[in-house]
Chains A and B, each alone.
Chain A
Amino acid sequence: MPIFPLSIHDLRFAPDGREVLAGVDLELGEEGITLVLGPNGAGKSVLLRTICGLLEPSAGRMAWGGAGGARPQQGVMMVFQRPMMLRMSVLDNVALGLKPLGVAGAERRRRGVEMLERVGLADRAGDSARQLSGGEQQRLALARAWLTKPRLLLLDEPTASLDPSASAAVERIIREIRTDGTRILMVTHNLGQATRLGDDIVFMAGGRVCEHTPVRAFFARPRSEEARLFIQGELPWRMRFQGA
């Protein structure tokens, strides 16, 4: 089932009447890494959860594959800020992603070993996943998602709370996943990371997409006032004083 282009029109999410997404419009093509930036409460994580089907939008529509298609059953994965680490070995945790796809146990483990080599965790295959460091756990989570060969990978602040060296390792894997042909939509608060990783930026504030531009253009000439203030580090303060 085709996934791209993914067209999102007037997407709204308003639990208990409070609008978290207030009419999001977004077009995603087939390639690249799109970074979602914005202040806390802008609706970034909710947008990702809505795209992957964890949240049901209050209104609006998502057209998958360009012809108004429904959400595909496979091909969309998401990695969270605090990934799930089951009480089993690193290898079993990685191979778990293939279980719903009906891949046999031995084949799951074979592919899991290959994937662990790609993310630099092969020597930890037999260890308990819960004994890994935060950075290693995030690499494991990326490996688990990558193993399913997703067409669209949603990343919700995967390097939040990681040190610079662990963040760099995670960023390297994200680039490899992109090179492997996976489209990536990633939320981050790290502006340096956005310049290093992103092809384009979706800037959100107040539940709306304020602008969607290439990375260089975003940082050189932000089109929206909200984006300009955010880059200068003033938006959260300004929004608070204005009661936004």
Chain B
Amino acid sequence: MSAFAATFSDALSLLAHFDHTVLEIVALSLQVSGAAVVLGTLIGLPLGACIAVGRFPGKTALSVLINGMMGLPSVVVGVVVYLILSRSGPFGALGMLYSPAAMVVAQTLLVVPLMAAITRQVVEDVWARYAEELQVMRFSWWDSVTTLLHDCRHSLVVAVLAGLGRAMSEVGAVMIVGGNIDGATRVMTTAIALETSKGDLALAIALGVVLIVIILALNALAYVLRQWAMRRFG
């Protein structure tokens, strides 16, 4: 059997036997990325909708900035969060560095611009069609934002999925602020990077398979839900 096939066979064996290490890493990954996406949704979606609906000086510049930050290098975010949370940083007293909480902060900073930019584009298109009618009904600025977010909810699943994809596949920032500590801050991407460098390709591939399956399953679920919702609500 070739080394390639043997590695895959070992990886599948790890998955089939519900290897404790794999499960622990997967669980922490889901917790960290899930929390980051929840926070990103709570911040990014209203932020994007506010930019879309609002009329204020610098709106175009802010939109360009948010769009530009979609491609923010994760290692840069990692370094910035590291400096903020390190002992000598402004939030050093919280003692968050090298903890899952620090990883959530870093991933949230990465997904917020992405989710806000997608939301701004989606909501802006709908706002262009509904603005007059909402203004005639004397909807306040905030009521318009919440109404449009609700109306665009099926399309905004894309923003949430994009955020989840970004969070789960990110490695640089969580490596810097989490430290990749075994049993404490090791997530799928950092574990894959480490195990590959150590030559334990079976565990790296097993985690990679889980990562891909999770992302594909979530996308499939979102697609099915969106199709159902479009049939139900138009």
Kindly provide the distance from the CB of B103 to the nearest chain A CB, expressed in whole angstroms.
Answer: 35
Which residues in A have their C-beta under 8 angstroms from that of B133?
78, 80, 83-84
* Mask: chain B, 83-114; 1 = CB below 8 Å from A; 0 = not: 00000000000000000000000000000000
Given A74-B138, A80-B132, A100-B137, are A86 and B151 neighbors across the interface (CB < 8 Å)?
yes
Query: Contact between B147 and A54 (Cβ–Cβ < 8 Å)?
Result: no
A99–B233 Cα distance when bound, in Å, is 21
Name the residue of chain A whose CB is nearest to the CB of B134.
A84
Query: Contact between A130 and B233 (Cβ–Cβ < 8 Å)?
Result: yes
Kindly provide the distance from the CB of B136 to the nearest chain A CB, expressed in whole angstroms.
Answer: 5
* Residue among B136, B139, B151 making CB contact with A54, cutoff 8 Å: B136
Which residues in B have their C-beta under 8 angstroms from that of A129?
234
Kindly provide the distance from the CB of B2 to the nearest chain A CB, expressed in whole angstroms.
Answer: 53
Query: Contact between A128 and B132 (Cβ–Cβ < 8 Å)?
Result: no
Taking CB atoms and an 8 Å cut-off, the chain B residues in 198-216 that contact chain A are none
Kindly provide the distance from the CB of A32 to the nearest chain B CB, expressed in whole angstroms.
Answer: 21
Which residues in A have their C-beta under 8 angstroms from that of B233?
87-88, 128, 130
Query: Contact between A97 and B137 (Cβ–Cβ < 8 Å)?
Result: yes
A129–B130 Cα distance when bound, in Å, is 15
Kindly provide the distance from the CB of A190 to the nearest chain B CB, expressed in whole angstroms.
Answer: 23
Where the two chains meet, the residues of B that have a C-beta atom closer than 8 Å to any C-beta of A are 129-130, 132-140, 143, 147, 150-151, 153-154, 232-234
Where the two chains meet, the residues of A that have a C-beta atom closer than 8 Å to any C-beta of B are 49, 52-54, 73-74, 76-78, 80, 83-88, 96-97, 99-100, 128-131, 144, 148
**A-B interface, 10 closest residue pairs, ranked by CB to CB distance from nearest:** A130-B234, A87-B233, A84-B133, A100-B138, A78-B136, A128-B233, A84-B130, A86-B151, A128-B234, A87-B151
